[in-house]
Structure 1
Amino acid sequence: MALSPSHLLSLTVASAEWRRDAACRDTDPDLFFPVGTTGPAIEQIESAKAVCRACHAQAACLEYAIDTNQDSGIWGGTSEDERRQIRKRQAARARQTA
């Protein structure tokens, strides 16, 4: 599904608002993009999620990540696999109501 120009504009405006207040703004971005999901990456993922848990923009960040299909990194306190599961549940609910 392609995003319409008006949808892209609203995402851009919304993203600017929550990003201004995001706790990750003053954190090394590499923290939020671990390589892998095992070994040292486990601790890195937990550290990134800890920043998210303390962030006032967590819900908006997660919504942005879901809406724009961010498939890598930690967004809104969720991992790639967790967001994939959220999208699957949303798709299943949409099919049930269709």
Structure 2
Amino acid sequence: MHIEAMTASEVAWHERALCAQTGAEFFFPEPGSSVREAKRICELCESRSACLEYALANDERFGVWGGLSEKERLHLRRTEGDR
């Protein structure tokens, strides 16, 4: 995530996010690796909904954002597009 390109409110949620306090390897694992640990951390994070909103609004295509994997966010976008 490029902090310099984020607005003040985006920086605020990111600074409070648990992912900012852990290693990026959980949230951007090697292809085929488990995202289970990242999702577990996201479940406990108060910034989860803001993170997911950011990822969807900015079409983040890699990593776990707001507790969802790339495939899950793609499915969510497609499902919401059908409405």
Give the TM-score category using the shorter length: 0.7 to 0.9
Instruction: Report the RMSD for the aligned CA atoms in angstroms.
Output: 1.5
Return the match for 1:29 from 24, 28, 40: 24
Q: Distance in 1 between matches of 2:7 and 2:36?
A: 28
Question: Match for 1:16: what amino acid?
Answer: V
Question: Match for 2:38: what amino acid?
Answer: A
1:18 equivalent to 2:8? Answer no
Q: Distance in 2 between matches of 1:61 and 1:12?
A: 13
Q: Distance in 2 between matches of 1:13 and 1:26?
A: 19
Q: Counting helix residues as a fraction of each chain, which structure ranks higher?
A: 1
The residue number in structure 2 matching 1:63 is 53
Structure 2 gap segments, 5+ residues each: none
Which portions of structure 1, spanning 4 or more consecutive aligned residues, are displaced by more than 6 angstroms?
none
CA shift digits 1:41-74 (9 cap, x unpaired): 12xx000111100100001000100010000000
Identical residues among aligned pairs (%) = 35
SS in 1 for 2:82: helix
The residue number in structure 1 matching 2:77 is 87
Return the match for 1:53 from 43, 52, 70: 43
The residue number in structure 2 matching 1:74 is 64
